[in-house]
Structure formats: C-alpha cells, structure tokens
Chains A and B, each alone.
Chain A
Amino acid sequence: MKVNKTKVKTRMNVTLLSVCVVSLSACSSLGVEPWERDLLAKKEMALTSSPIDAALDDHIYFSKEASSGGKSFGGGGCGCN
C-alpha cells in the first residue's frame, strides 16, 4: 500500500514536471522576431502606458481602500491610510 502511494506521488511529480516543461517550452515558442515589434513598440502598448495617471490613481486608491500595490510597490509614502 505504501509502495503504491509512493508510486502515485512519483507519477504526480512527473506529471507536474511535464506540465512545467511544456509550459516553459510553450513560452519559448511564444513571442515575435525583432522586426515584428511595430505594434508592441507603440506607447499605448506599454504595460503602463501613462505612468503619471498610474501614480495619481495609486495615491487615490491607497488613501481610500485597504489594498495597494500589485502592479507596482504598495509602499508607504503618505499618511493618508
């Protein structure tokens, strides 16, 4: 019974490892060549397309809600919460 449990555990580990390897190899097949970055290089495709708006929003929501950060550092910086 003990052996069976170990076998099951090993099989699960192998499956998990396979999933990880497949995910990683999937990542390596994702993406573009340098000459295909025309759209990605546009300002509006930046992950934070307007850093000023993001900073102002962070300050508002940090002051009015119990959550902060996630996309960036939650940090201190003001006595508003």
Chain B
Amino acid sequence: MNNLNKDIKKEVAQKVSKKINLKAALSLATGALFGTSVTTGAVGQTIEADEWQFDTAFLLYSEVDRVTAGEAIVAGTKTFSNDEVLNLKFTFDTLTGPSANGAIAQPKAQTFTRASGIGRYRTPEGETPLDDTFHDTRVQLNGQWTQPVSDNVTGSVGGHLSKEYDYLSLGLNGNLAYDFNRKNSTFSMGISYFSDTFTPEGGIPKPLSSMLVGDSNSPEWDDEFAKTRISASENKSTSDLLIGFTQVINRRMITAFNYSYSMVDGYLTDPFKVVSVLNAEGLAQDYIYENRPDSRVKQSTFMQAKYHFDDSLLNMVADVSYRYMWDDWGINSHTIDSRFIIPVGRASYIEPHIRFYQQSAADFFTPFVIEDQLPVDFVSADYRIGEMSAVTIGAKYGVALNGGNELSFRLEYYHQRPTNGGFEEPEALNGLDTTPVIDAIIAQVSYSF
C-alpha cells in the first residue's frame, strides 16, 4: 500500500514537473511561433510533452479624448513528440473614437466631410480636427509550424489572414535557424510577404484633390463627390528580410543582433487624411487629400541583451534593447526598450517597463501648406510620420498558479509628443496648440494554462 502511494505521488510529481518544463520550453520557442521573432534555435531545454498550451490576453488601449481599442488574443501551442511545434493564434480587436484627420487647428470653427462622403462634422475653434466616425473591427488568424530540419537546423513556416471591415491582409513567412558552437550561437534568416487590400467606405480619394464640403443630401452631391475619387480599392505589398544572430555569452547572459530590410510597394497613402491649405495669414482656404510615394524601403538594426542577476540583485532579469530604423522617406528613429523581471516571493514577479522612442519627419511631411507653395507633389500632415518623441512607462505583475498556469496584469502609460520640426507658423496660428500631445493608458490581463 505504501509502495502504491509512493508510485502515485511520483507519477503526479512527474506530471507537474513535465507541465512546468513544457511551459518554460515552449516560451523559449514561441518567439518565432507567434511571428514575433526569427526562429532563434535551441538555446534552452528540450520540449518533452505532447499537449496543448494556451495563452490568452485582453488588452484595452485608451487615448484621452481620442481612440479606444480593445484586443483579445487566444493562442494555442501544441508540441509533438519529435519536436514539431504547431501554433495557432486568433486575434479579435475593435477600434472606436475620434482620430486626427490631418488638418490643423484654426482660430475659427471648421467643417469637414466624413470619409464616407455622407454627412459632415464640425471642429470648434482652437481644436485639432478629429474625425469621430472611426469604428473598425478586425479578426486575425495566424498559424505557424516549426520543426527540426537536421541536427542543427530548425525551420518554420507560417501564414496570416486578417480582415477588417475595409481591409484584407494575407501573409506568408518562412524562417531557418542554424545552431553552432555547442548551440551557443544561432544564425537565422527569415522572409515574409504580405499582400493587403484597402477598400475604404466612400472609395479612395484622388490625391491632392480638394475635400468637397457641402450638403450631402443635395441632388448633385454624389456626382461631385465621385469626381474626388479614383477607385473603390487599392493594394499594397510588403516584403521583409530579417537576418539574426544570437549569442549566449555566459550562464547569465544572452545577446541578439538583427538586421531587417523591408520593401513596401503600392498604395501607401492614408485615404482618411487631408492637409490644410492656408493663406499667408494662416487661415484655412482648402483641405487637400494627402499623397505619399508608392514605395518605401525601411531598414533597421536591432540589438538586445538579457542578463540574469544573482541574489545580491534579487535574481532580477534585465532585458534591454535598442533599435535604429531608417527609410528612404527620410525618417529615422531610435527606440530603447527595457524591462526588469523581479521575482517577488516564490510564485510571483513584478516587471517594470520603460520605453523611449524618437523619430524624425518624412521629407514630404508638413503640418500645412501655404497657398503660394502650390502645386505640391508628395505631401502629408499625418503627425505619425512627423517629428515626435514618445515614452512608455508601466509595470506588469504576474503570479504562477497551480499546475503551471499563470495570471498577469499589465498597466502602462504612453505619452506621445509631436514636435514642430522647424516649420514657421503664420500669424493666425499663434497661441493655438498645433502639436497636441497624446496620452494613452494600456491595460492588459493575461492568463496561460
């Protein structure tokens, strides 16, 4: 009887340990599987078990006075006995709330036509024009298959499908990782291709044409509005190459270096954005639809180091990374991201996070156009491709539950500060906030089982 009890206890202990091992091992491998990283090879332990592991999360992103987005993710990972890994991920998100239309604040109220061409909205004097009709829902599916190709080579292929009300995106990716130097070094290479189709309500506006503002119920409206449209939909394609090198430095430290090259071709303009045309005093005379080049080449270098401190520093894990990105639109950016995972007691941890971001403006970015600068070629007043800096600060708290399950909460504050970038403002804009800051809260709950 005693022996039987011992056997049962041993079996239960093995099962629990198997599940915990599985979780740790999967976490090492899932970077690639979730499409968030090139396959990094076997830097950890072997995957042992043959069962599904699920990661779920709900995120709320809410900007003060602007958009609110909710996003839910359910991801399942199954590891087969011969180290083959299947990952399936389902994402659902929804977006509502006002979004900047590109026009600049004025000392008097302004009226705009909704992107659909049906109805108008009015922006009070001194305020940044925001289109409050945005409402979108997106469903996304990702699948990734990873398996050993030979002793030191791991291969991975994946597919992506996402559908919004007015947007369809299809993608494929493939990765290879080669381990050498006793699996302390990994060289990896990945390619991906996305094909996107944009079908906005109201069609694609004619670049640089004037926004038609008037009574959308009038009998001539439809014909006049149609003259400002070029088509019902447009496409773009994105081809990415990612080359990575991972190096274990010692028992406590691992580093990664990436280079990426990305080519985007097709319709890269935002059909919802306009640019204010001002007279010499600075008063709006017209709003023209923005126009961006039909290709963009982005490159970036990325470096990351993780270090596991000892008892004297609370067994903390520091994760610090830096990215430098540049493109042929004249934008370059610096991103520093750091996280510190600090164990609290035996089963929980707290993870402070701080991120700094700074970008320069695209060559064709301008907050407004003065009448005598017309005609213009490429032009956009979208603050997201203008000069800006941003900071994210927050923390995550996670607790391990019975059977290797984990519950975590994340709360962060994101602050974006667009800057003028040297544009001289005409008199009428004096005293107006032409580079409004954006403050947002990011709240997330995750559960893994």
Contacts and interface: CB of A to CB of B under 8 A. Distances in A.
A73 B250 contact: no
Contacts of A78: 138, 162, 164, 167, 169
B258 A70 contact: yes
A69 B446 contact: no
A interface secondary structure, majority: loop
Interface string A39-52: 11111111111111
Contacts of A76: 169, 171, 194-196, 236-238, 264
B384 A71 contact: no
A61 B325 CA distance: 14
B278 interface: no
A3 B37 CA distance: 49
Contact of A66 (B40, B138, B385): B385
A62 B57 CA distance: 19
B interface secondary structure, majority: strand
B132 interface: no
A56 B349 contact: no
A36 B321 CA distance: 25
B147 interface: no
Given A55-B36, A75-B171, A75-B238, A69 B24 contact: no
Interface residues of A, number: 50
A44 to B, nearest CB: 5
Nearest to A33: B182
Nearest to A75: B194
Contacts of B95: 80
Nearest to B248: A31
B364 interface: no
Most chain A C-beta atoms within 10 Å of own C-beta, residue among B27, B195, B247:
B27
B225 to A, nearest CB: 22
B16 interface: no
A52 B442 CA distance: 14
Given A56-B57, A60-B414, A65-B390, A48 B30 contact: yes
Contacts of B37: 47-48, 54, 71-72
Contacts of A72: 31, 35-38, 242
A20 B204 CA distance: 52
A49 B44 CA distance: 12
B20 to A, nearest CB: 10
Contacts of B357: 61, 65, 67
B395 to A, nearest CB: 12
B61 interface: yes
Contacts of B164: 78-79
11 contacts: A37-B43, A42-B308, A49-B319, A50-B446, A65-B384, A70-B325, A70-B335, A73-B192, A75-B238, A79-B167, A79-B198
Interface of B: 23-25, 27-28, 30-31, 33-38, 40, 43-45, 55-57, 59, 61, 71, 73, 75, 89, 91, 93, 95, 136, 138, 140, 160, 162, 164, 166-167, 169, 171, 173, 181-185, 190, 192, 194-196, 198, 236-238, 240, 242, 246-252, 254, 256, 258, 260, 262, 264, 270, 298, 300-302, 304, 306, 308, 317, 319, 321, 323, 325, 327, 331, 333, 335, 341, 349, 357, 359, 362, 384-385, 388, 390, 396, 410, 414, 416, 438, 442, 444, 446
Given A37-B45, A46-B28, A54-B31, 16 more contacts: A30-B248, A31-B185, A31-B248, A37-B43, A47-B254, A48-B36, A49-B319, A51-B34, A59-B71, A66-B327, A70-B335, A73-B190, A75-B192, A76-B194, A76-B196, A81-B384
> What 8 A-B pairs have minimum CB-CB distances, sorted nearest first?
A31-B184, A76-B194, A79-B167, A48-B31, A51-B34, A70-B302, A70-B323, A43-B27
